[in-house]
Amino acid sequence: MNILSKILLISACCLIIGCGSKHNIEADYEIVPLPFEVKNTGGEPFILDDKTMIVYPEGNETLKQAAGFLSEYINLSIGLKPDITGDVKDQNVIVLKTGYKGDNPEAYQLLVSKDKITIQGVAEAAVFYGMQTLRKSMPVGHDITTVSFPATEITDYPRFGYRGMHLDVSRHMFPIESVKKYIDILALHNINRFHWHLTDDQGWRIEIKKYPELTKTGSMRAQTVIGKNSGEYDGKPYGGFYTQDEIKEVVKYAEERFITIIPEVDLPGHMLAALTTYPNLGCTGGPYKVAETWGVFDDVLCAGNEDIYPFLEGVFDEVIELFPSEYIHVGGDECPKTRWEKCPKCQAKIKALGLKADAGHTAEQGLQSYVIQRIEKYINSKGRKVIGWDEILEGGIAPNATIMSWQGIEGGTEAALQHHDAIMTPTTYLYFDYYQALDIKDELFGIGGYVPVEKVYSYEPMPEGLTKEQQKHIIGTQANVWTEYMKDFNHVEYMVLPRMAALSEIQWTQPEKKDYQKFLPRLAKLTKLYAKLGYNFATHIFNIEGKIETDNANKQLKMTLSTFDNAPIFYTLDGSEPTEKSTLYEGVIQIDKNVDIKAVAIRDGIRSKIYERKLDINKATFKPITLENKPWGRYSYAGAPTLVDGQAGGDVYASGGWIGFQQDMIATIDLEETTPISKVRMGTFVDVASWIFNVSEYSIYVSDDNKDFKQIYSKEFAPVEESQPVGPVYLDAEFSKVDTRYVKVVAKYLRSQPEWAGGAGKPASIFIDEIQVN
């Protein structure tokens, strides 16, 4: 959807939810993130017009600059551009000042009266967040001459002190102007930490003057794989890096917007770019090459080689000089120990350190802990602190390290229990390279998974079971953007917006004030500002949401259709295109036969994206089903009934419609009476880059008593090729008609992935959905 289409759609929604028009412009304090307290004081409104001025304290250069930002923000939103002044004025002014008394250093108060708006913060950063509140409360338009601000008192402060957003520039790199734009987007959402992932296997992106070859050699890869490790390549060299002058420019730009940049140099894994430059730092001595594919690689820094330590110290000397951040991120994630297990130097180091395997960790994991702790000690000596991904817990955490918990909540919980600070950033809620829609045919490419706005918003960062003292160690939360499949910044914007708005409310707003249904109209209003600023954002919140419940007792499905703004919905059941002449949705649709539902919301003549869902009612639908083996943890979802609910899993394996297994899937369906059958169809999902393969064998058994089963079909399958497209693969077992009551379906998982796979030699996962019996 282009920007013009988005503006038309948002405008139609705003007519329904009550956004202002040019004839009656009034500010609206229902913004994102929601402030702590908004009180209507009942006085006359403040009128912003072309005579309004912004006043800052004379001599305060920081607030003078902030006043300039606010003037520009107002200009971008409505076209007026207030002058700024350090002179004391009391009429028709917006006053910026510090001195507000509050326990939170980022707390502010925004007072609106007839004569002035006053934004007073504990410190300058707090004033800046008050400015963002004022900015987002304003209407958006081209020729607005006045804005009326209702008399109000807003008291506000953030829930968390660390409010982060991440960007990977190693897999794909973006121009400095794009990085600055990213910082502007963060500032709009009250985010105060920018985690900049600067090095990885696919490219070294930061100039290190002591080691110039890092950017001469390590910043360039010869070519890039097409898609998800398809085995096909584009044949084009790719690379680049940021000079130290450019980094200083970006750091200053962020500081001016009260954002601290946290640089990451990932170690001891994800170091192929450095190893290609300096092969002596690896266990084998090479040759190495800057990675042309995605994933995790066995070649890592040689922990037993003393040369890696002065090298890393030299790198961090310059990183620390460039970035004034309290924290330096050292990675520590996804470091295979394959090379270390066979490396004489690493084994000698393990012996010299007296490292032993125990019930929880290997000696090699202890060796990684040694590397992280040694580097942490050096960084601490420079007056800085270390952050690492949650793998640095393995083998013993570095004494003063902060944990970034990405694999789930367990890492953050364990860190807090050990009295270490933690930042929560779990994949299942806060990885913005995951898809944000189930219908992905029109989506920009994603790594997989499914993290819509609603799921982001639902995340609660504080793990259960922690004491109040332990809770203090959960210092904040962050979303991550990995850019394997994001070749340009337009793609990045689409993946982060509007999910970043949901993130900001997790980070800023008190949990008891969160309400997703009330959040949506506020988000819709914010997207109007996105459009005005030219941001590329996803519009899924304006689409129809469909929910389907299984009514086993009555052998039917119940479908509910809705939009956040209660727009009129029209639908068909035969797969034809819905129009305003189609059936108007007025309540639950009851389904007991095969249908192809298509629905559209129409707002002021503007059509939403078509919602489509095919439902297949067959002999297995609504029947009792049992599993012999438990599904795979987080991919269990609603369990066995999902396999016979009449709904195919779709194009995203993490949608909740597919059930994952790390062992054989053995399902028995009770048809409840003797029934003639001649075909069993089973859906599988293949995504080899995610270690999800086809089944190795598919078998069907039947029984009259659920005890003695007879095999009536079996077929073995070779592993799919590397070029296999990501998505569903359906298997049909056809056989002579047989009368039976019980049908057992067996799908065997692949015990060993092929040599070309990222998990070569390791077991694969299988994902199954919709077993259809006919």
Residues annotated as catalytic are 200, 270, 334
Q: Are 423 and 477 in contact (CB under 8 A)?
A: yes
* Element containing residue 134 per DSSP (H, E): helix 124-137
Other CB atoms within a 10 A radius of the CB of residue 348 amount to 11
Phi, psi of 533 (to 5 degrees): -85, -5
Contact in structure between 328 and 320 (CB atoms under 8 Å):
yes
Length of the chain equals 774
CA trace torsion 397, 480, 69, 10 (10° rounding): -150
Around Cβ 643, how many Cβ atoms within 10 Å? 26
Structure token pair of residue 704: 């009259």
The whole-angstrom separation of Cα 723 and Cα 556 is 39
End-to-end CA distance of the chain: 40
C-alpha 641: how far from its chain's center?
29
Q: Which residues, including other chains, have CB under 8 Å from residue 632's CB and lie 6 or more apart?
A: 660, 661, 662, 765
Instruction: Measure the CA–CA gap between 211 and 313, rounded to whole angstroms.
Output: 12
The rounded distance, in Å, linking the Cα atoms of 660 and 763 is 13
Helix, coil or strand: residue 567? coil
**Count of other CB atoms within 10 angstroms of residue 580:** 11
Burial class (CB in 10 A: 0-12, 13-18, 19+), 129: buried
Strands 659-661 vs 545-551: parallel, antiparallel or unpaired = unpaired
Q: How many CA atoms lie within 13 A of 273 on its CB side?
A: 32
* Phi and psi at residue 693, to the nearest 5°: -115, 175
> Which string of DSSP letters, residue by residue, matches 245-271?
HHHHHHHHHHHHTT-EEEEEEEESSS-
Phi, then psi, of 677 in degrees rounded to 5: -140, 155
Q: Is residue 86 within 8 Å of residue 46, measured between CB atoms?
A: no
> From CA 694, how far away is CA 765, in angstroms rounded?
8
Q: Residue 763: is the preceding peptide bond cis (ω within 30°)?
A: no
Phi and psi torsions of 8, nearest 5°: -65, -45
Residue 26: burial class (beta carbons within 10 Å; 0-12, 13-18, 19+): middle
